[in-house]
Each structure stands twice: as structure tokens, then as C-alpha cells.
Structure 1
Amino acid sequence: MDCISPVVDVVTKYLCDPFFRQIGYLVNVKENVKKLAKEMGTGTKGDVQRSLDTARREGKSSTHAVEVWLRQVQEIEANAVAIQAEYEKGKTCLRGLGPNCWWYYRLGKRAAKLMVEVEDKYKENFDGVATTPPPEVVEELETTPIDDQQTATDMIQKVLDCINDEETRIIGVYGMGGIGKTTLMKNVNNRLGSSSCFDTVIWVTVSNNPDVASMQKKIGDRLGLDISKAADIGSEPLKVLRNKRFLLILDDVWKRFELKTLGIPRPTVGNKSKVILTTRYAHVCSDMEADRSIEVKKLPEAEARSLFRKKAGPLVASESIESLAETILKRCYGLPLSIVTVARAMANKKEVAEWEDAIAEMNLSAANLRGEEYHLLNFCVGEGLVDRQGTRDRPATLHAARNKACTLARSLKAAGMLEDGDDGKTWKLHDVLRDLALWITSTKSVEGLMFIVKAPEAAEWQEAERISLRDKNVEELPELSECTKLRTLLLCCNKSLKAIPQLRFFECMHSLRELDLSETGIKSLPHSLSNLVNLRVLCLAHCEGLEEELPPEIGELGKLQVLDLEGALD
């Protein structure tokens, strides 16, 4: 018996088991096909696909392993569908006189083997279905197309020629504010997306008050670096960029600064990297050691007129409006930003009166509305645009007044008169539009100087309607004999201003509606405050030097609606 047992094992292993396995393919064909269909319907592929779709919505891309797995599963699914279809169709041999055993055997064997593939494939594990993709070489920027402006197209080609010049490392693009430097360079940036010779193109806005940390983060993000925890933030981009051919576009540069402060290696002929900067001043190009400087000039008269008519609509060519449109166009001085903004605001204005009233409407544009709704509300209350007191029949609420103030601001923004501030919480005018608005409202007329933003002589106070001396290092105020037209006086952020004249200042400001003394160094308010009989808004926020209680004369200000004492008195 001991001799027979090994023989039986060998016969069983090499003869019986294979024989019964092959017979099983034929006998169990129906069961195998059903199992295969059930396993394919478990949803494993669907789970992986849903996880991948979620990751893609977050900006991630599938890993190579997951892509290969999905392709293999699709092939398995196709084979399973084919087996199921063949089984359902069925076949016979001997002209329908009996079952086709050989065909069923092969079909059962295919189903069994495919079942093993499915089980093995569904057991595979992934470290993750998706990963954060490397940054695009060029990040496309939202901008206004300028292909229809011949002057702008020529300027783009000049910049591209400089980029392709191997001897040019730093390129300066300069011109007055609103001339279109930023729009020009955004179009250059986007053109590089189709055929860039650089490993990466990085756009950074510098501005008059550069935020180095924010710029470093922007550069790090474009390189796919998390520099938030780096000991030396600037060193991380420096290491990466030394091994890359890069193009850095620095927009709105006001003065020289060292590239290494941002973690940017200096471009050389050897590393074939480039830096382009835009600035208002030609000397900044020299200070930044630009190899080539390109001046962006105003639009020619014909192009300016064409752009204005395109944005404002065909009505500007009508006989009654054409001369008024030409007057407004001349005040835009060939600056594309001014032309586009003013034209959009005047689009489809049909009445002559609307065009004649356009300048008056621009008075609503503040130079820089502080971003919190509360400050915007104060501005509108002071200007009489909203009323927080309401009437007996229609009492106002803070919520309703705030809504109206924000609606006014959104209307200005929709017309292109306002844009978002750098922090996302403020509204502001582009500095060119600010200059344009100030030019219009400061022009002498029969009513005199309307809006003053620099320290005026005593005589100029007499005719002014609005004076903004915010953060102008004002140390003292003049004594005045007449100032009856003044409606708004903004003296905020002048820490050196320690006192308001006790006499000959407020006595003549009977029309004043808004007085902002916040963040000044004043220690007390004069008793002449009671003369401000039309005052609606009084801001004393963060006047930390106030040593005395508020004078009782404040109780005589019958029209006062806003009194801001935040951070002013204990």
C-alpha cells in the first residue's frame, strides 16, 4: 500500500485533476458566465472612477498606475460583455440536432480564466488615484484681446523679438499709467503658451508698495513649491530656477530692487533666462539694468476713436452726440484704459443730456473706498446718497442703507469705474481713472475748485466742495475766514496733526456733511464744532490721543447720523 499511495497522488495530480477541471469548464459554463457578470457589476471600477473624478475637480490628475488599471479593466469588461453575448445567443452543432459541446467548453474556459483576472485586478491597491500635476509652463491670464489694435500688435512683436534675442536678458517696458502696459504683457504671456522656449513663465505684480512675502509665495506656487515652512523662503525658488530656463514678468515696478530678494537668479546669456518689467518710468528700466527699453505710447487718434466707438456703440457717430463724444475722447488722452472705461460707461446712452451729465456722474467715484461696508456706508451717508435716519413713513435700517450703498458701488464697478482692491476686500479706482476724475472735478469753473487732494492754500479752501488730505503728513491747519461750500473734509491718517484751530476754522463750514479725523493725533475737539449744523458723519476712530471727553456741542449736531469712536476713548 505504501508503494501505491505515491502513484495515486501522481495520477490524481497530473491526470484526474486536469481532466475534471476541463470537464468543469463544460459542465459549469452557465454558472461561470453568471459569476463573471456579477463580479463585473460589483462597482469597484465605479468607485475608483468616482474618486478620480473628485480629485480632478480639485485640480489633480490621475496617476499612471490608475490609468493603466482603468485601461486593463475596460479590456476585461469588453471581453466579459462578449462572453455574455455569446452565451445568450447560444449555438448548436449537427444543424440544430444537438448542443455544441466543444463551443460551450471553450466559452466556459474563457469565462473561468477571465474571472480569475477580474479577482486579481480588483485586489490591486493604489497609493492614491491622483496626484497634483506639475504647474503649466505658462499660466494663461484673463485680459482684453488687442489683436485689432495695430499699435498694440506692433508692440507685442517688439517684445517677442527681444525675448528671442539671445543677447537680451532684461527687458524694460515703460509708459504712463493707463497706457496699456499690463494688457500688453498679459497678451505676450498668453502667446507664449502655444510655443514657449522656457521651462516656466512666471507673472508677478510688484506695485508701489511691494509685498515681498506675497510675491515669493506666487513664485513658489508657480514652481510647485510649498515655501510656507521654509526657513529661508527665497532660497527654495533660487535652487529650482538655477536649473531652469525661466521668463519672469514683473508688472508695475516703481523702483529698483534686487531679484535675489524674491529668490530669482540673475538672468545671463548662459542660462538663457529672461526678465521683463513694466514701469511708468524710463529711469527704472535703467536702474534695473535693462538691456532693452521699449516705450509704450498713446494710441493714435484714429485708433483711439475706433476703440471708443467699438466700446460705446454706434450711437456715438450720431449727429447730436458725435461732438460730445469727441470732447470726452480727447479727455482720455489716447490712454486705452481711460477710453475703454469711459466708453463702457457711456455705452448706448441715447440722450444728449446723458452725455452732458456724464462728468457730473463721475463725481460719485471715490479715489479709494475703504473696503469694509461700514466705511462705504459712512461715505454714502456723508454724500447724501443714502439716509440712515429715513422718514416717519419709511424708517431706514442699517441693513437697508448698507444695501443701497453697496448697490451704488456695484453700479460703479459694473460700469468699469471701480475694481477690486489688492486684498479682495476693498474697492478702488485705477490710478489713471483717479487722475482723470480729479482732473475733471478739480477743473476751475464758475463754482471754483471742487475737489482738492493736496494741501491747499487758505484761499483755495473758500471755493472747495471736497478736500481729501488723507495721509498727507499734515501738521497744522490754517485759520479760515470763509469756507461755506465745503461738504467733505477728510483729514484721516495724519498722525502729526495734533490740534484743530479753536477759532476761525469750523465757524464757516456750515455746509460740511462728512468730517473724518480718524487716526490723527488730535487731543481734543474745539467748541466751534457746534457750527457744523449739516454734519452727518463724524469719524474719530483710533484717535488714541484724545485726552478729554467729547464736548457737549456734539449734542447740538441735529443731523448727525454716524459717530465713529472705535478705538478712540477708553
Structure 2
Amino acid sequence: MVAVMTPSRDYDQWERYDNLKDKEMASEDAAVVMLSGGSFEEMRQQIWKCLKDPEITRFSFHGWEGVGRSIFLRQVIDELLKQAKSHDEEEDEEGRSDTSYQIVWVRAPSSVGDVRTSITRVISQNEDYLNLDVRNLRSIPNQKILLILDDLQQFINLDGVGLSRWESMVWPGSKVVITSHSKEICSKMNSNVNIEGRWEGLSDDEAWDLLLAEATDIANSLATFNINIGGDALMQCYTYLLLFPDGAPSNDYSAYWKIECFIGTFESLEKMRFVYRSLRFIFENRAMILSDDSYIHVSESIVSKVVPILNQQGRCLVRCGLEREEAPNVDEWEKDDLKRISLVGGNITTPTLQVGRPPNVPQLSTLILYQNPLLREVLDDFFHNMQGLRVLDLSDTGIKSLPSSLSSLTNLRLLALSHCQNLETLPIHLLHALQNLEALLLQKSPFPKLTQLSLNMMQHLYYLNIDGAYNLTQLSLRGCSSFQVLYPPKDLEILNLSSTKISEFDDFRFWKLTRLRLLDLLDTKHLKVVPWHAIDRLPQTLNWDHCSNHSPAEEFHANQGYCISVGDDKIFDSLSKDSELWEEYFKKFRFSVISCD
């Protein structure tokens, strides 16, 4: 019998994903890719030896960071259960075989109470046992238990609450198995044997199979939450993080994954955000990544093992920490199958060692030059032969201007120019040439000479982060019919979001824009919910036409601009009659409630 118990845990950052957390953990019985090969067989034999040795009552299994430990152990336990069902096993004096266990699988326990509750619930099948004192555990019928503390994140003192040597005193022949990413935690748990899985000990095929098994298991887990992403797509999501070996800002990966077509097409941006946050939660929960509020990192041991595999496969060229003389030659760029190039965190002064011409790489889809502060110039014709480029990241470089050949990137979907301290302004004509652009990441770039920015009628643009442009006072996104998310600079004074897909005031951080004087929201049929309780001021002029099929812009401005026209009055349901907005602001406005039909 196998029981997977999931104690409650406190994830402050992920409170919205409690249901996902429960289902994700409970999916540990899902079928996964079988792990085979010399290193895995050696590990399997070590675990079997511990299971059969009566002198070993506790053993731990750690390593491989957060990848594959639980999956591999489940496969060994499945073999254990199959063997226990056979009739040719030797039995001990009490009629029990050396591999016949009642299995209690406790996923990510946080206290000894979680462990005790799991044992009593599984062994007794009697709710009365849930409140038993520890001393009365002996009253539970004598059974041989294999207690698995899976993915242990912190030390739990089993002996400190009366469970001293419980393996032999309560249920003779029982064992405790501990899995954790931390060798220190395993050592503190007083294991007789510590088994360590090391990435450098795996062959390339074994390492890739281990990642694929984990990705497939995650896909099974997400499927229980009606998120259908295959194991191969999840592999691409995870290995994409390795294009940023030293870590990268965490908020932007959703845009990268969407544009690289890893996570499919969703009916709403909110669903896509949920999928991204779900993946990030699972990666972090399984210790596959380390993250904080700003950055995501993959452990150095995984980077060291897997990046060379990506390079050997021929579809990626990933190098980090390059010196100026180590930039790849043009012929390295021009390999037929090369799709992605990442030259991150170095001191290169040019992306490639020039041979008098730009690289001819029409098949290249991704170019990441992030964190190269000595890269101050990209030659004017550099992008001429990169017609297939979809992602270009020049963030945190020293560039002072953008080359004219940028306009030839007609398939470009994502342009990242964040943290570019030397880039004084944006060439608007070059941006308008990128008619397929979906995401523009400009955060923390000051653009001191940029005071006005018009990106009107860029039909595919859905995301803009320009929160560091401290002199920008006027921004227009009129007619950007796909546009949904804006991170504006706080001192913005004039904003036009007419004919966009904005659906909430928080989508453009309205609460942040304390100096906003004019806000145009004409033809914003998706904007149907307003958090009036969180709004304490309105701009001097607000032109808001919910439907834009009965009141043209000219009529608004003829009425001195103070107009709100909506399709029904439900939008004001959450506005208190006592709100100061009525007296302070709404008395200036002309209201129209006219059906959109």
C-alpha cells in the first residue's frame, strides 16, 4: 500500500495557488519516463541494499538539485511493491518478507506533527488515531513501515517528541527514507547512509533523460489542473532559463515563453500569467530554480552539466562570461541548425568577430546579449540577414544607439532594452518598422532625451514596460488593438489607451500615475470593472467611452473633455455613495449610459 500525504505549508508568495499546490503534490503517483542507464542502475542498487539491510533503519537520498529524486525513488518503490507480491520471498520469524512494507509517503513535511498524522491516518484507517499521544503509537497494530519523507525542506527532530528509535521500538523492521536537495538536512536527520546523486556523475543522455522525466511528471501534474502542456514544451521552458546562466529578471520570462511558443495560445492574458506563475511555482517548489522577487537562477551544477549538452545538440550556442577577444566567429553563427545564441554576462565589445560582413543567419530566432556592459555599439548593418529573429535582448549593455538594420527584423516579437544606461532615446521610426512586435521591455532604462512616445497602431503589441523613463510625460498607444499591459513611468502626464484591449485599471498601474492630467480611454470595450474603492483621484481630463459606437472623440473634446460614457451603470456598482470622488471630481463630468448594442 502506498499513501501520499500532503501536509499544509505556508507559501505567502503563492497564496493564489493553494489548489495547484495540493494537486501538484498529490500527482506523485503519475507515470513518468523510466530512468535507466549505468549511473541510475548503480543508484538503484544502493537504495535496494539499504532497503534489504536490517541494520539500516534510516537512509537519505539527496542531490541532482530538485530534479528527479522523487521520480527515481518512486520507480524503485514500484519495483519494491511488485517484488513484495511475489510468493518466492523469504519471510522473517513473524511472517514478513524483507521487502514487504506498509508505505507511508509524506510529501514535503514541515513538522513532526505532519509525519505523525500521516502515519496514523494510513496505518490505522481510523480517525480516532489522529489525536493519539505519541506514546500510544504502540497501540497501533504491529506493521512493518517504510516511511518516506520526500522533498524535506527543513530539519525535523523525530526523536525530540518521544519517537526515539521508533523504527525498532514501535514497528520492528521499519525504515525511514529521506529525500532532500540539501546534504546538510540529510545529515541532521541521523541517517545511517547518505546516497548522493551528482549531475557530474551522469552521462549526457542520463542527464537529459532525468530532466525529461521531471518535465513529464510536471506535465502530468499540471494536467490535473486543466493546464495541458506537454513534457517537451516544459523541457523547452526550463532549458530556456539556461540561456541566462547567471539569472535574469523573473517578471519577463512569461513574455519570452509566450513568444517562443512554448506555452501555447490562451484565451486570455490572465490565463497565460496563471500558467507562467504555476510553472514558476512548481519549478521553485521542486528546487529546480532559486528565485526572489527580482531574479530567477538555475543552480550552477545544472548549468554546468546541461549547457554543454545544449551546445552539442547544435541548436543553441550558449556562452557566458566571455572576454572581448572570445566573441564567436561568424562561421560559428552560421551553422545550419542554430536557432538560439546567448552571450550573457561578459566583456565583449562586439557580438561577433567581424570578417567584413554581418552574419548570414536567417534561421536564427533568438539572440541574447544581456549583461555585456562593454558592448557600446552594434554595427549598422548587423541585423540585415536575421529575418527570422523573434527575440532580441540587448538589456544591460552599454549601447548608445540602435542600428538602422533593426528595421529589417520584420518578424521580431520581443525587444528587450532594459537597464541600458547609455541609450538616451528611442528611434520611433525603427520601432514602427517592427509591425509584429508583441513585447517591448524597456524597464530601468532612463532615456533622458525621451519626453514623448507614440506607438500608435502597432496591432500586435500587448506588453510595454517603460517604468524607468523619468522624463517621459506623454505616451500614446492608440489603436494598439492587442495591447493589455503597461508599466508606465510614475511622472507620466498624458496617456492615450484608446482602442486597446486594456481590461482593468491596474493593467496600466493607474494608482501609480499621481501626475496624470489627461487620460483617453475611447473605445475600451474590454474595460468593464473599475476598483473605485482603490481610486482616490481622477485626472483633470478623462475621456472614457466604453463602447465608442455613439460618441466620437470630437464630441468629448467639444464638451471640455470631462466625459464618461459607458454601456450600462454596473460599472459604478462598487462605488460608494459616500465616495469623495462624487464631490471632488465627478461634478465636472458629463455622464452617458447608452447601450453598446
Structure having the higher strand fraction is 2
Q: TM-score, normalised by structure 1?
A: 0.39
Instruction: Determine which structure has more spread, i.e. the larger CA radius of gyration.
Output: 1
Structure having the higher helix fraction is 1
Q: TM-score, normalised by structure 2?
A: 0.38
